[in-house]
């Protein structure tokens, strides 16, 4: 068309029913990643697309409302009936799945816990693998320091170790790359991938491709 007299623009079309919506005309999430035992799943994308909301739902901390005011597990199970996620959500609703979740905002940890790094990690070590995690994440030099004195990168690695040290069926690592340099991100990635297999599932969330 000469002189750009006609311009065709592709506009997004809203899907019929959201998985979850934050209030009237609020942010809506239209899908969830699947979880599979023995596998590591990554959720990658920019801020504001619902990655952490996915984690909150999959970990059982939030019941999706499908665009309504309040969600119920009965509605969730009806929606996912006949799919691979039905069995997973059935166990979540019954409380028969144990989940370990690394928080997104590690700078909130000192407000929730007062004490030494060693105390926090020993309290979360349910698998007897604390020494291995401390070694792989380079935490030995901060074990006797107060949590409130740690840097952002140190808090990030402590949070990852605390999550991985628990005896759980599903592990959710929400935002593992902030505060970490490229070498530390690689070590964390290797740690998570080395844990896959068996009856466990790991899910990692990040906005950075390098993680």
For residue range 5-25, what is the model confidence (pLDDT) as tens digits? 777 777 666 667 899 999 988
Output the pLDDT for position 209.
45
* The pLDDT of residue 199: 53
Structurally, at CATH architecture level, domain 15-206 sits in 3-Layer(aba) Sandwich (3.40)
Report yes or no: 127 and 166 within 8 Å, Cβ to Cβ: yes
Residue 41 is inside which H or E element, if any? strand 40-44
- Interval 123-136: pLDDT, tens: 999 999 999 999 99
| pLDDT over 80 (residue 207) | no
Paired tokens of 136 = 């792989």
CB 206, CB 44: distance < 8 Å: yes
The predicted model gives 37-53 an average pLDDT of 88
Compute how many other C-beta atoms are within 10 angstroms of the C-beta atom of residue 21.
19
The per-residue pLDDT of the chain, averaged, comes to 89
Lowest mean pLDDT among 43-57, 107-121, 134-148: 43-57
Between these two residues, 205 and 126, which has the higher pLDDT value?
Answer: 126
Confirm if 102 and 160 have CB atoms less than 8 A apart: yes
Tokens of residue 92, six digits: 């979540």
Q: What is the pTM of this model?
A: 0.84
Report the percent of the chain where pLDDT is more than 90. 71
Distance, first Cα to last Cα, the chain: 45
Coil, strand or helix: which one is 39? coil
Give residue-wise pLDDT tens across range 80-118.
999 989 999 999 999 999 999 999 999 999 999 999 999
Burial 25-56 (b: 16+ CB within 10 A, else e): eeebbeebeebeeeebbbbeeeeeebbbbbbb
| Three-class secondary structure of residue 40 per DSSP | strand
Answer whether 116's CB lies under 8 Å from 129's CB. Answer: no
201 within 8 A of 39, measured Cβ to Cβ: yes
| Average of per-residue pLDDT across 67-79 | 95
**For residue 45, what pLDDT band results from cuts at 50, 70 and 90?**
confident
| Amino acid 201: pLDDT | 62
Domain boundaries, the chain: 15-206
């Amino acid at each position: 068309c000469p002189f750009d007299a006609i311009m065709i623009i592709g506009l997004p079309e809203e899907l019929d029913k959201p998985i979850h919506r934050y209030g009237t005309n609020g942010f809506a999430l239209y899908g969830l990643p699947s979880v599979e035992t023995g596998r590591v799943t990554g959720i990658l994308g920019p801020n504001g697309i619902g990655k952490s909301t996915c984690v909150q739902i999959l970990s059982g901390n939030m019941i999706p409302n499908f665009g309504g005011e309040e969600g119920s597990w009965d509605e969730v199970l009806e929606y996912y009936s006949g799919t691979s996620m039905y069995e997973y959500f059935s166990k979540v609703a019954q409380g028969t799945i144990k989940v370990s979740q690394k928080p997104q905002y590690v700078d909130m940890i000192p407000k929730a816990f007062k004490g030494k790094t060693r105390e926090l990690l020993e309290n979360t070590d349910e698998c007897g693998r604390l020494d291995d995690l401390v070694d792989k994440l380079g935490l030995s030099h901060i074990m006797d320091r107060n949590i409130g004195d740690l840097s952002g990168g140190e808090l990030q690695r402590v949070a990852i170790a605390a999550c991985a040290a628990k005896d759980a069926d599903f592990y959710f690592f929400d935002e593992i790359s902030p505060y970490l340099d490229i070498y530390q991100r690689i070590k964390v990635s290797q740690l998570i991938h080395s844990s896959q297999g068996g009856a466990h599932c790991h899910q990692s969330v990040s906005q950075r491709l390098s993680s």
